[in-house]
Structure 1
């Protein structure tokens, strides 16, 4: 019975979107508001929302922002070292210990204490465009050049939650390492870009 109920709600939301009640890029009512509208428990609405997110119809964070997926034009990343020209969303900073991968990229010993900074980069309309996580040892320093590698792999659960997407979706992962004039590593970073919104030409 519960399964049929949440699928019925998902079908109704899907029909409203198809009819134009909620246009692409439009934020839909909150989970609480939808529960009141349909006269069901909020958990039933959550299941309906998760179904629609898995179908790519809705995107965003179930407990905060949810909107109808917009088929926006695909962007092309040309310079992964360029400043982001639009808005920034949630940020997080702190310290951690370098695992073997980060230690190799930063040219430090495994277990070294390093600082990290994570920021959600937003499109002009406020939708998440990419996720940038930077790691460094010591104080910030100017860089002279950078190197980068790119790969495609399924988006992790942690990255998907920040971007308001579903884990397992294909994502472009850019590893960018900045160097000073002598070739010493200044910092290293990961850029996570949803593959359906981005191509790269670097």
Structure 2
């Protein structure tokens, strides 16, 4: 079976990167420019770029400039309740009504008004390493312990945009719920970790 043209182009770009035509961090030409060089339409180049982003060869958002990706630093998450040791940015603090899932996790009524924040945790190089969305009722309270569950999810548009990945890319989702001394939930959070940047080892 013949190899799709966009895959052949992706292979050629990968080979050119390997021989140093483009260095790590360097921007590639626009899709339009490379489409002209390869004598294909822009949709074919879009598929090639998309494949290379998925493989971690390129980084950058859809419809924006892409560059040669730095090798992803793979970290191991062992403590989901630990403080993030590097810089972070709070990107959203809008209150939210409790969904059925959040109501169950927090022991509140569906559509109860919850406080909320989403924090983007950055690695030492300034790239997004993890997103943490937290919800709680009333004022924040200290916790005595926590529970955690692990699953995989496909990234939504906002998450993919923040992490510089493709929509529907797979990520780990850690559901962390903090409990008080009476085992009542005081807050719950989703930790979204790109699968190409993390290993998970929960005790």
* TM-score, length basis structure 2: 0.77
Tell me, yes or no, if the aligned pair for 1:60 and 1:163 is still in contact at 8 Å: no
Tell me the equivalent position of 1:174. Answer: 174
Question: SS of the residue aligned with 2:121?
Answer: strand
Q: Deviations over 1:114-134 (max 9, x none)?
A: 121111111111122111111
Tell me the equivalent position of 2:148. Answer: 148
Cα drift, residue 23 of structure 1: 3.4
Q: 1:62 to 1:199 in 2, by over 3 A?
A: same
Stretches of structure 2 that go unaligned for 5 or more consecutive residues are: none
Tell me the equivalent position of 2:103. Answer: 103
Matches within 5 A, 1:132-143: 132-143=132-143
Matches within 5 A, 1:1-202: 14=14, 16-24=16-24, 26-28=25-27, 34=30, 44=42, 47=46, 49-62=49-62, 66-89=66-89, 91-202=91-202
Greater Cα offset, 176-185 or 47-56: 47-56
Tell me, yes or no, if the aligned pair for 2:147 and 2:177 is still in contact at 8 Å: yes
Tell me, yes or no, if the aligned pair for 2:90 and 2:119 is still in contact at 8 Å: yes
Tell me the distance in 1 between the aligned counterparts of 2:67 and 2:144. Answer: 40
Cα drift, residue 183 of structure 1: 1.9
Tell me, yes or no, if the aligned pair for 1:96 and 1:115 is still in contact at 8 Å: yes
Q: What is the root-mean-square deviation in Å for CA atoms of aligned residues?
A: 3.1
Tell me the distance in 1 between the aligned counterparts of 2:90 and 2:68. Answer: 20
Tell me, yes or no, if the aligned pair for 1:27 and 1:65 is still in contact at 8 Å: no
Matched residues, number: 193
Question: SS of the residue aligned with 1:94?
Answer: coil
Cα drift, residue 160 of structure 1: 1.7
* TM-score, length basis structure 1: 0.78
